[in-house]
Amino acid sequence: MGLEKIKAELKAKSGFRASILDRGEKRVRDVAQVANDQWEVMGRPELGDEFESYTVTLVRDPFTQSGWRYLCSCYEHRSGRGRRRKLCSHALAVILWRRHNNFALTDNSTGDNGERSS
């Protein structure tokens, strides 16, 4: 599936803003899988990153509808609880990367319900 189509789908189904989808898209080529449920996303100063790389992990979370959520290491660096709840563009890049590589087709654990930002 093409990235444009994936973005349009995420926007329609999960209510992501276009601006964060665009930032996530710019990061897709910076995504490297390091484990089954873990990815490394290269930091980009032009996108506001302070660190060289960020680690995104897919974890069990019984409080989301899908039972899964993405955690990013940038959540630890930033203060404030509001930030923590929102999906960052690093995690979004991983979502786009996984769909682009067709992982989502065989893996329902990361269904749309788990990717809402609210």
**Sites of contact with Zn ion (CB under 5 A):** 54, 72, 74, 88, 90
How far apart are CB 31 and Zn ion at their closest, in Å?
12
Task: Rank residues 6 and 95 by Cβ distance to Zn ion and give the closer one.
Answer: 95
Two tokens at 51?
Answer: 């660190």
How far apart are CB 21 and Zn ion at their closest, in Å?
15
User: In angstroms, rounded to a whole number, what is the distance separating the alpha carbons of residues 33 and 78?
Assistant: 24
How far apart are CB 9 and Zn ion at their closest, in Å?
21
Sheet holding 68-72, edge to edge: 31-35, 38-42, 53-60, 68-72
Q: Whose CA is closest to 69, among 84, 79, 80, 48?
A: 84
Task: Rank residues 21 and 74 by Cβ distance to Zn ion and give the closer one.
Answer: 74
Task: Rank residues 90 and 99 by Cβ distance to Zn ion and give the closer one.
Answer: 90
How far apart are CB 74 and Zn ion at their closest, in Å?
3
Q: Where are the beta strands (DSSP E) in the chain?
A: 31-35, 38-42, 53-60, 68-72
Task: Rank residues 28 and 72 by Cβ distance to Zn ion and give the closer one.
Answer: 72
User: In angstroms, rounded to a whole number, what is the distance separating the alpha carbons of residues 37 and 35?
Assistant: 5
